[in-house]
């Protein structure tokens, strides 16, 4: 049996009520081994409500990183649920870490607390955005590494392919490089150089894609640097919200009728983001996650850890510049 | 009387029928001096239909840059309406150039054919995106300079402020720096350094903004590099389209009912893009522009040229690194 997924009981807008319920659902309904990290008293009280005290292990962490914390202050204490959770992964006592805490804080803690996998230059954040065609497109890097080299972007592409295979079940994912023109050679220096490396990798390279391709289903994986990726991720969210606000204001449809589209296209609601390239997998669920979403995040984390998203490309994921 | 605005008669999806009608409307209804550039025979035939042959000058240019041309091949001939139009601006025979041709081709021709204004390091493309609050936000650079220095980004901010004042009529525009966290110091290296320069400029600096602020009306001007700006511009377009497609598919509202929102939020339809920082102003109208849009683009070009968008900041727009 594999090591358990460690779930941050203190993260998210709804605290232990939903995170503990999510961990219980992951264990009972999906058969995923889990442990909970956070304030042991609070967690046991919730586990007791589910009659699950004997079923799920608890690791105590005294402090809580507030949801408003976006990175810099996440290390003010070594005994937060984030730092203790990441430490369990680093020591091999857990296969993966799931948190609905602030994305910035979780990513910062994970990079510092878990460390990179062998051969991986920098980690990347992957998120599956639903496309209008019905499938999904993996956006990577959505914000972990804001100043990557071209070689790092090439590795992100491999990590994105692995994610699409393991999580979305796409056998041979196509990969597009986010740029500002579809022709090869278009883009800034970083993107142009990455565009020279990608055709040499063992993946199905589609070529350049553009901003309007992100939700169009043009490719299975869109690779970019973490700065552009994070701007795009938040821009998708804001643009969809703006369009639906205008539709509601025009009187054509009410906010209630549009809620399903809004929910589907809130990118963070859909699937959470996976931090790939570390020695253990980390999945960041949305802050507003309820139990079912936490359970699903555990399943994604488990699949990624079991599938070996980081290591399965062997020689291609090398710390040497990709040729 | 100021020099005329030169209108590319051959650009756009509808050719001289709409561009000539637009030039006539600009002259007659808005009182803007214009000349037309392109195939003289075609243009005169259209002018004749409006009884305007004696009213509007024509400069002959034998060749036409196809709408599919995105930059590289735009110089295959020195006698296209783009190159001849830009040359009129360079020689001071026209105050500004308006084209509904391919954005990439127009920008390439304008940079090479007109040249930079004194003190301007690189040009930038400005576009006004309607925000949900009812106003508009200027996005600059939307794609002219894909690898700017921090000093160039600081100049783009000044150009964006000038654009917001002259075109949108905002007296003291607020400026946000597009980044991946609202706190100072968040972002990639380029953005962090630009964020150090902006507070020292004579503009109302709001601080960092994020991808979801682009349509939210958070600030009047959003400044970024031309790579990120172009990706964002096209992502807005694609995300709004995706949201409306899903609304239509859900049956809540039909495509016809959503057309007004779609049209409003097609960023290129709304206002066109202005290339700022050259020795003459260039406005790129959308390829699908009809006469009324061409006339409005002429008005924007005229306002920008008259207002001296490039020169009014005097010492602040210096070729020396901004301190």
pLDDT at position A80: 92
Mean pLDDT of chain B: 88
Its CATH class, for the domain covering B1-120+277-323, is alpha beta
CATH of domain B122-270: 3.40.718.10
Give the pLDDT mean for B194-200.
97
Give the model confidence (pLDDT) of A265-320 as tens digits.
665 555 579 999 988 889 999 888 899 999 999 998 998 888 876 555 444 544 44
CATH number assigned to the domain with residue range A121-266, chosen from the 4 options 3.40.718.10, 1.10.10.10, 3.40.50.880, 3.30.530.20:
3.40.718.10
Residue A309 DSSP symbol: T
Q: Which residue has the higher pLDDT, B60 or B249?
A: B60
Interface contact B257, partner A, CB < 8 A:
yes
Q: Which of B32, B39, B35 is nearest to B15 (CA)?
A: B39
Q: Are A275 and A281 in contact (CB under 8 A)?
A: yes
**Alpha-carbon Rg of chain B, whole angstroms?**
19
Tell me how far apart the alpha carbons of residues A141 and A155 are, in angstroms, rounded to a whole number.
Answer: 10
Interface contact A102, partner B, CB < 8 A:
no
Residue-wise DSSP of B145-161 = -SS--HHHHHHHHHHHH
Interface contact A211, partner B, CB < 8 A:
yes
Interface contact A214, partner B, CB < 8 A:
yes
Domain A1-119+277-323 CATH superfamily: Isopropylmalate Dehydrogenase (3.40.718.10)
Give the model confidence (pLDDT) of A160-196 as tens digits.
999 999 889 999 999 999 999 888 888 999 999 999 9
Q: How close does chain A come to B245, measured CA to CA in Å?
A: 7
Tell me how far apart the alpha carbons of residues B285 and B303 are, in angstroms, rounded to a whole number.
Answer: 15
The answer to whether the Cβ–Cβ distance between A188 and B147 falls below 8 Å is yes
Q: How close does chain A come to B292, measured CA to CA in Å?
A: 24
What is residue A63's three-state secondary structure?
strand
Q: Which of A110, A109, A209 is nearest to A157 (CA)?
A: A209
Chain A residue numbers with beta carbons less than 8 Å from the beta carbon of B187 are 146, 227
pLDDT at position A211: 96
Is residue B210 pLDDT above 70, yes or no?
A: yes
Of A218-232, B163-177, B248-262, the range with the lowest mean pLDDT is B248-262
pLDDT at position B76: 64
Q: How close does chain B come to A49, measured CA to CA in Å?
A: 38
Asked whether this complex has an ipTM greater than 0.95, the answer is no
Q: Between A and B, how many CB-CB pairs are < 8 A? A: 174
Residue B128's DSSP bridge partners are: B138
Q: How close does chain A come to B151, measured CA to CA in Å?
A: 17
Chain A residue numbers with beta carbons less than 8 Å from the beta carbon of B265 are 242-243, 246
* CA nearest to A233 within chain B: B211
Segments in chain A below pLDDT 50: 313-315, 317-323
Domain range annotation of chain A = 1-119+277-323, 121-266
Q: Are A278 and A92 in contact (CB under 8 A)?
A: no
Q: Which residue has the higher pLDDT, A110 or B66?
A: A110
Tell me how far apart the alpha carbons of residues B165 and B173 are, in angstroms, rounded to a whole number.
Answer: 7
């Amino acid at each position: 049996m594999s090591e358990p997924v460690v779930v941050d009981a203190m993260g998210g807008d709804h605290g232990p009520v939903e995170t503990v319920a999510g961990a219980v659902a992951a264990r009972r309904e999906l058969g995923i081994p889990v442990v909970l990290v956070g304030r042991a008293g609070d967690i046991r009280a919730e586990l007791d409500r589910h009659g699950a005290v004997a079923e799920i292990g608890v690791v105590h962490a005294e402090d809580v990183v507030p949801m408003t914390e976006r990175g810099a202050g996440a290390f003010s204490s070594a005994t937060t649920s984030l730092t203790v959770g990441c430490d369990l992964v680093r020591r091999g006592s857990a296969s993966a870490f799931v948190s609905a805490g602030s994305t910035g804080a979780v990513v910062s803690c994970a990079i510092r607390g878990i460390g990179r996998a062998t051969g991986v230059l920098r980690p990347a954040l992957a998120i599956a955005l639903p496309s209008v065609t019905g499938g999904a497109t993996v956006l990577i890097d959505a914000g972990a590494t804001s100043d990557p080299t071209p070689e790092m972007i090439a590795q992100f592409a491999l990590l994105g392919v692995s994610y699409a295979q393991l999580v979305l079940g796409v056998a041979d994912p196509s990969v597009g490089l986010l740029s500002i023109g579809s022709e090869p050679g278009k883009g800034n220096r970083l993107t142009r150089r990455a565009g020279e490396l990608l055709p040499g990798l063992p993946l199905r390279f589609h070529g350049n894609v553009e901003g309007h391709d992100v939700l169009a289903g043009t490719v299975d994986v869109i690779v970019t640097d973490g700065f552009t990726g994070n701007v795009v991720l938040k821009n998708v969210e804001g643009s969809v919200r703006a369009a639906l606000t205008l539709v509601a204001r025009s009187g054509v449809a009410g906010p209630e009728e549009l809620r399903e589209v809004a929910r589907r296209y809130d990118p963070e609601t859909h699937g959470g983001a996976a931090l790939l390239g570390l020695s253990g997998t980390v999945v960041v669920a949305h802050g507003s996650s309820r139990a079912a979403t936490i359970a699903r995040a555990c399943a994604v984390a488990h699949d990624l850890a079991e599938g070996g998203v980081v290591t399965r490309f062997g020689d291609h994921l090398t710390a040497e510049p990709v040729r």
